[in-house]
Amino acid sequence: MRVRSSEITPRSLYLRRREFLALGAAGAGALLLPRSGHAAAEAPHGRKLEGVKPGQPSTDEKKNSLEEITHYNNFYEFGTDKDDPARHASKLQTRPWTVKVEGECKSPKTFDVDDLLKFPLEERVYRLRCVEAWSMVIPWDGFPLAALLDKVQPTSRAKYVAFETAVQKENMPGVGGFGAIPFPYLEGLRIDEAMHPLTLLAVGIYGEELPKQDGAPIRLVVPWKYGFKSAKSLVRIRLQETQPPTTWSQYAGGSEYGFYANVNPDVDHPRWSQAKERRIGEFSRRKTLPFNGYADQVEKLYAGMDLRKFF
Ligand SMILES: Nc1nc2c(c(=O)[nH]1)N[C@H]1C(S)=C(S)[C@@H](COP(=O)(O)O)O[C@H]1N2
Ligand SMILES: [Mo]
């Protein structure tokens, strides 16, 4: 059995994976199943979140199980295999934890994550579409990023928002190794994308504190963009006038991964088609929808832009 190139991200890692498979160490099934020696994909359980209200929009599509959501991950700080985060992310230290919000705003502030957990929380069931052509349906618990940005009062010069995620070198086996992508993982949004009501800061899944492999204690979720935009384990949010450099568009995948990265079935990745996707847990592939099915809500943000040019 061969692993499709679309399961893997940058070319160097794809080639390394092929070497690994050539050793006969694993088959394609290893992408979906936990390795032997680990209890059958036991879902980790975190503290229950209080007072989470149902929020809109939420899809009524079948949700992926907590088991699937926590055993098929991309979190390169813990390794590049889909089960590496489940195996290693327990080492991530999530307390004490602060998120610095700074830059072009009237009242920059460092938030303790336990104060962020006191924001009014809602459940949003969103599709997550990875650029590698797989997808899931995840019930996030969180609050709009706009609610946090409102607290620091962005100035009129705040045109973009830069996101930086945690680096705990001693706890993250994927950081600093040979061929690893550069860390910290950097992402960015335009200010109107950041303020859009769909854009969430997630602190939980299925009503429990976020599992570490999904980006505990707090992560970004931007459901109309490829999954790499949804940065995990945030430590810094910076409002700025200029478009920030981002890991995948500038350092790792080069021209393969754009700053905008809106889900678009008509623009292929240089190495695979984006027309279809595999929902984790399902066998046949389904059509990918423009803006991952959120076009009604977000298309207007890009009026007048050539979305091929601005991938
Ligand atoms: N810090 C950090 N955030 C990250 C990544 C990562 O490697 N490091 N991977 C991204 C990618 S490619 C995807 S598809 C999603 C996966 O989220 P999930 O594992 O919770 O499904 O996280 C994104 N956020
Ligand atoms: Mo991804």
66, 68, 75, 206: residue to mutate for ligand 1 pocket, most atoms within 8 A of CB? 75
Dist. CA 26–CA 39, nearest whole Å: 18
Centre of ligand 1 from the C-alpha of residue 70, in Å: 12
Handedness of CA 190, 195, 198, 201 (dihedral sign): positive
Q: What pLDDT, on the 0 to 100 scale, is given for residue 23?
A: 36
pLDDT at position 152: 98
State the Cα angle at 78 between 52 and 43, rounded to 5°. 45
Ligand 1 centroid distance, CA of 197 (Å)? 21
Ligand 1 pocket member 247 (CB < 6 A): no
Q: What is the 3-state secondary structure (H, E, C) of 238-283?
A: EEECCCCCCHHHHHHCHHHCCCCCECCCCCCECCECCCEEEECCCC
Domains within the chain, CATH numbers bracketed: 5-302 (3.90.420.10)
At residue 30, the pLDDT reads: 41
Compute the distance from residue 244 Cα to the ligand 2 centre, in Å. 19
- In this structure, the residue with its CA closest to atom 2 of ligand 1 is 232
Using an 8 Å Cβ cutoff, are 181 and 10 in contact? yes
Residues in the chain predicted with pLDDT less than 50, given as ranges, are 1-39
How far apart, in Å, are the Cα atoms of 231 and each of 53, 103, 141, 189? 24, 19, 16, 11
Q: pTM, whole model, 2 decimals?
A: 0.89
Q: What is the pLDDT of residue 235?
A: 99
- The predicted structure's pLDDT at residue 19: 38
DSSP conformational letter for 32 = T
> Model confidence over 176-234: pLDDT tens digits?
987 889 999 999 999 999 999 999 999 999 999 999 999 999 999 999 999 999 999 99
pLDDT at 41: 60
Is the CB–ligand 1 distance for residue 292 below 6 Å?
A: no
The number of the ligand 1 atom at minimal distance from the alpha carbon of 166 is 1
What is the chain's Cα-based Rg?
A: 18
What's the pLDDT at 45?
Answer: 85
The shares of helix, strand and coil residues in the chain, as percent rounded to the nearest 5, are 25, 25, 50
